[in-house]
Amino acid sequence: MSQAALPQPAPSGPAPWRPRVAHPEADVDLVAAEEAAADLLRALGLPLGTEAMIDTPRRMAHALAEMVTAPPFDFTTFTNAEGYDEMVLVEDIAVRSVCEHHMLPFTGVAHVGYLPGDRVLGLSKLARLVDFYARRPQTQERMTTQVADHLQRHLTPRGVGVIIEAEHTCMSLRGARAHGTRTVTSALRGHLREDPAARAEFLHLTRHSKEAT
């Protein structure tokens, strides 16, 4: 999977830094996707001539295209003028992705935190970053590390922590049919990985969020 392209490091000064985060533009052919969806459904013996399913190939193609297309966004950061050095944590960010092995959804929540360095990130950008990497055929393990590595590289905080909890329909609706199971993955970087106290604080805060619900 291609990594997001970002401009050069932030210029000095008080103005916000707004690099654009985007995947390389994909060549999407919705007409071909609709035809392929129709072929697949026919091959599975489904009756595409009924009133209920006659438009299903088009809807299927558009739905899948939406699920695997990530809109670009501005990775807006600001100078940490106040020298804030405590944890910044956004909890329960919705995760909606597609398993690359079966093209079935997995859904859940992400908890993303960091220890600021010279710059702080607009809070909504943490949710946008999770959605950006989720909108691809994915594995949960890879997505967890991608979010953590992106923040570590392009925000350069003192530490990063990412935890994702999700239910995979490829396991709950088929195969093992393990209903209600949740997969938990984590990625810790910098101070949150190396300092036991900082690591414990991050894990405690994310556990507290789960217990509160």
191 is catalytic: no
102 is catalytic: yes
What span, in angstroms and rounded, lies between the C-alpha atoms of 52 and 39?
A: 17
99 is catalytic: yes
- At residue 178, the pLDDT reads 76
100 is catalytic: yes
- Of 191, 207, 5, the C-alpha closest to 116 is 191
Q: Which of 35, 101, 194, 204 is catalytic?
A: 101
Position of tokens 């997995």? Answer: 106
Q: Which of 111, 140, 150, 167 is catalytic?
A: 140
Under CATH, what is the fold of the domain 76-212? GTP Cyclohydrolase I, domain 2 (3.30.1130)
* pLDDT tens for each residue of the chain, 213 residues long: 445 555 445 555 566 778 888 888 878 899 999 999 999 999 999 999 999 999 999 999 999 999 999 999 999 999 999 999 999 999 999 999 999 999 999 999 999 999 999 999 999 999 999 999 999 999 999 999 999 999 999 999 999 999 999 999 999 888 878 788 899 999 999 999 999 999 999 999 998 555 544
- At residue 8, the pLDDT reads 47
Residue type, 144: T
Give the domain ranges of the chain. Answer: 30-67, 76-212
- Tell me if 104 sits within 8 A of 202, measured CB to CB: no
Q: Which tokens in the block code for residue 127?
A: 């949710």
- At residue 48, the pLDDT reads 96
- At residue 16, the pLDDT reads 77
What span, in angstroms and rounded, lies between the C-alpha atoms of 175 and 47?
A: 25
154 is catalytic: no
Question: Is the dihedral angle over the CA atoms 194, 195, 200, 202 positive or is it negative?
Answer: negative
168 is catalytic: yes
Q: What is the CB-side half-sphere exposure of residue 95 using CA atoms within 13 A? A: 34
Q: Which of 165, 168, 191, 201 is catalytic?
A: 168
23 is catalytic: no
- At residue 1, the pLDDT reads 43
